[in-house]
Structure formats: structure tokens, C-alpha cells
Amino acid sequence: MKSAVLVFPGINRERDMARALKLVSGQEAAMVWHAETELPKGTDLVVVPGGFSYGDYLRCGAIAARAPVMDAVRKYAAGGGLVLGVCNGFQILCEAGLLPGVLMRNARLKFICKDVHLRVERSDSPFTRGYNAGQVIRVPVAHGEGNYEADEETVKRLEGEGRVLYRYCTPEGVVDEESNINGAAQSIAGIVNERGNVLGMMPHPENHVEDIMGCTDGRGLFAGLAAHLEKAA
């Protein structure tokens, strides 16, 4: 699995991400600076990591979404290439128009940094095939603007087309108001685009991949991608 991890000024999760990718795939990820206009040849997966690109000015991800490298990512995604955006990466993908909707301030207007539970809604996507449908995983979140919103029609479409892949839930897998940590529409934690090759999610699977982290529930996402790409090759 040849991954490319994008790096913007203010991003701080790129090394965690590269480490997780190496751990699961055995291959070193390429780090790609935001000013680049092309992705490395043969890239199997583009990852937009988390952090605070441009100090979260204007709106999280709004400035990074206009970086030169994003034109290359748009082209790559249009060709069916896999793109994963985590946290600030999710925000950047929405701001870049690669995913619908927007991430607004958390409902209680506080930065949230803790472990949460997610229900994996389906297992037939490259981004979830490392899990079973309905499985509950524990992963951390760390964000101030994770409250996913879109117009009613868009949310209805996301649901109708099965494009919500991860949803906040209780440890038992129940989706309720309390487990919806940031007030997101339909407790949405992660969605894919229409074609299913671009995923954005607020939680950080890359931070739960080794025993030393206290949990390895995030590993399935990367293992699933690696398995998907292996089969496709």
C-alpha cells in the first residue's frame, strides 16, 4: 500500500498517521508538502491528516482546502483513487468540495479530547472491510469543530445511499443524544462521497493501533484498506 500523507502548515498528526500506515502495511508513507502540484506516482491512498492547518483561521480547513496539492487530490479522487481525511483532514475535504456538508463548532462550544465509541454501519466499503457491520470500536477524538451539518436533503441522501460509515454511539452500540458528543446531524462521525472512494471522519483511528496506546480498535480501518488494495492489485 503506497500511501501519500499531505502536510500543511499547522498540521500535527501526520507522523502518527505515517506510523500507523507503516505498521499495518509495512510500507513507508510519502510525506507530500501542500505546495506540491502532483502526487507521487503509483499512490494507492491519499491521507489528509489531522491538526490545525493555518491555525484554524476562517474555519477549520478552509485555507488548506485551497492549497495547490488539493487540485491534484481532486483529480486523483475523480479517477477513483482512495482518499482518507481524518479530523482536520475531514474538514479540509468538506471545504474542498470533495465531501458534502461542513464541520461546525461543537454543540457545547468546547474542545473535546477523549475516547469515544463508534458504530461501524457497514463492512462492504474499502474503509470498513476490516470490521463487521454493527461492530463498536473505541477511538479518540480531539476537536473543536466536529459538529457535522448539511442541508436536510443532503443528510437524507447520505442516509438513503448508506454513506454514513461511522456513527457516535454508546459502548453498547446505541446511538442516542448523549453519545453524540458534538451534536452532529444523525450522530455522523464519518461519511463517504457518492462513489465511495473518499472518506472523511472526525475521530482518530491512527491513535489506536498499538498495544502501547491502550487499544488497537483503529487498526481495522488501515488493515481493511491494505486488504482491499492487495485484492485490487
Q: What is the rounded CA–CA span in Å between residue 62 and residue 92?
A: 6
Number of C-beta neighbours around residue 105 at 10 A: 17
Q: Is 87 in the site for ligand GLN (CB under 6 A)?
A: yes
Alpha helices in 67-129 (DSSP H): 68-78, 88-95
Question: Is the CB of 202 or the CB of 226 nearer to ligand GLN?
Answer: 202
Binding region for ligand GLN (CB under 6 A) out of 45-53, 130-138, 154-162, 205-213: 45-53
Binding region for ligand GLN (CB under 6 A) out of 51-59, 68-76, 157-165, 190-198: 51-59
What lies within 8 Å, CB to CB, of 151 at 6+ separation is none
State the residue for C-alpha cell 491494505.
226
Question: Is the CB of 47 or the CB of 226 nearer to ligand GLN?
Answer: 47
**Catalytic residue list contains 87:** yes
Among residues 14, 95, 145, 206, which one is catalytic? 206
Residue 40: alpha-carbon gap to chain centroid: 21
User: Helix (H, G, I), strand (E, B), or coil: what is residue 217?
Assistant: coil
Q: Which of 43, 88, 147, 179 binds ligand GLN (CB under 6 A)?
A: 88
**Closest by alpha carbon to 90, among 189, 206, 10?**
189
Q: Is 56 in the site for ligand GLN (CB under 6 A)?
A: yes
Q: Is 51 in the site for ligand GLN (CB under 6 A)?
A: yes
Q: Which positions touch ligand GLN (CB under 6 A)?
A: 50-52, 56, 60, 87-88, 142-146
- Active site amino acids: 87, 204, 206
